[in-house]
């Protein structure tokens, strides 16, 4: 088998493995969302709030790449589940800031602790050089996903 052919086969195998990983990840996030009593989009928006802190609905729409209409639904559902609350912006009384309800944090922390531990264990099995290659691939493949998402949304 020539080098070019095996390289092409390896790319095909990795592409299939990425599709498998994507499917497994979507089902993982569906299971997490179900455990939390929300849907996967709401769960990922909650993750953005956990990562970046309180923000306006418009800021959450930009960070999530969702429409403002879709974000209103997300916030309504998260508020109903008692995960977030709308508070008046002290700098502009016409705007609301979306903030996390602190009482819900232990449920999220507990859920993600085991995932974090298993991921850390897996990553510890790689050398620093391998981790740098993995990091590079994840950064670039994430950029590809964001670009494709943007193109799909633009029509």
Q: For residue range 22-63, what is the model confidence (pLDDT) as tens digits? A: 999 999 999 999 999 999 999 999 999 999 999 999 999 999
Residue 83 sits at φ, ψ, to 5 deg, of -95, -30
Angle at 68 between CA 66 and CA 70, to 5 degrees: 60
Please tell me the distance from the alpha carbon of residue 15 to that of residue 11, in angstroms, as a whole number. 6
DSSP SS3 for 95: strand
Q: What is the pTM of this model?
A: 0.78
Please tell me the distance from the alpha carbon of residue 99 to that of residue 102, in angstroms, as a whole number. 9
Q: For residue range 95-113, what is the model confidence (pLDDT) as tens digits? A: 899 999 999 999 888 888 8
């Amino acid at each position: 088998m020539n080098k070019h052919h095996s390289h092409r086969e390896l790319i095909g195998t990795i592409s299939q493995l990425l599709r498998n990983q994507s499917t497994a990840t979507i089902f993982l996030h569906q299971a997490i969302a179900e455990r939390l009593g929300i849907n996967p989009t709401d769960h990922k928006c909650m993750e953005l709030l956990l990562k970046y802190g309180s923000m306006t609905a418009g800021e959450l729409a930009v960070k999530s790449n969702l429409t403002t209409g879709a974000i209103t639904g997300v916030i309504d559902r998260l508020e109903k589940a008692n995960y977030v609350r709308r508070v008046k912006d002290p700098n502009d009384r016409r705007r609301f800031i979306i903030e996390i309800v602190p009482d819900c944090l232990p449920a999220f922390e507990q859920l993600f602790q085991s995932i974090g531990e298993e991921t850390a264990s897996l990553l510890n099995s790689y050398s620093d050089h391998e981790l740098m290659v993995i990091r590079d691939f994840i950064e670039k493949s994430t950029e590809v996903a964001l670009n494709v998402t943007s193109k799909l949304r633009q029509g």
